Chains A and B, each alone.
Chain A
């Protein structure tokens, strides 16, 4: 069989991979073989972290709402439980944004939740 030389398709594919990985470090941005491995791994991380992002942000909002609650002398869990019983169904993202943008409104949420919080036995 005659020897086959890399043609335009191969060149295009290599260029595409190297361009995508142009921001990588050292050999990962210049050598096709390592660049391709990096690209596969990068896409795997990206897929995983698009899902992880939703959890990360929820965690951040919980930290923020907890901070706003503690400053008003309520624990986060008691506050969320009390709000639910008071039929306030705002999510943690909105509660945290309210706590930052309008602390007075957050005071009101705490007052709404307070009557539903059982006194410690």
Chain B
């Protein structure tokens, strides 16, 4: 008997990506837990068609991105973001507190970025995350669905 050794692999165009909108200020989950959910949706791991080499994920719009819940009294001072320009002495450090003041959306973006695959596909997935500091977003045309978690 000849057996068929095949399983479904998604192709680009097989599926239509959906859009979700979530208000970070209204979510009870903390920064990391929210980031896990967002990363899962961006990667497509919440769908049975998930295929590792294809971007099967959906888009996520986050409103009030800077108002995400951060637990712990000292966390804002303790968490330090580093980046290195490549030049000697080019290490820049910024605490979460200062980051929240200067670029409120980057705290959540960084948390999500670190949870995505470290490759070209992961970088492409991150572009599907749309962060806004206010409670408005310009993606009405995509008809985003409400956040299905929480």
Contact = CB atoms under 8 A, between A and B. Distances in A.
Contacts of B47: 67, 71
Contacts of A70: 46
B48 interface: yes
Contacts of A99: 48
Interface of A: 57, 60-61, 63-65, 67-68, 70-71, 93, 96-97, 99-101, 103, 106
B37 to A, nearest CB: 11
B45 A63 contact: yes
Interface residues of B, number: 10
Chain A interface mostly: helix
A20 B51 CA distance: 31
Contacts of A100: 8, 48-49
Given A60-B50, A61-B7, A97-B7, 12 more contacts: A60-B7, A63-B45, A64-B48, A64-B49, A64-B50, A65-B48, A70-B46, A93-B7, A96-B8, A96-B48, A99-B48, A100-B49
Contacts, number: 35
Contact of B50 (A57, A63, A97, A106): A63
A63 to B, nearest CB: 6
A114 B50 CA distance: 24
A110 to B, nearest CB: 12
Contacts of B46: 67, 70-71
A71 B50 CA distance: 13
Contacts of B8: 96-97, 100-101
B48 A60 contact: no
A101 B8 CA distance: 9
Nearest to A101: B8
A63 B44 CA distance: 10
B134 interface: no
A67 B7 contact: no
A67 B47 CA distance: 5
Contacts of B49: 64, 100
A49 to B, nearest CB: 15
A60 B53 CA distance: 11
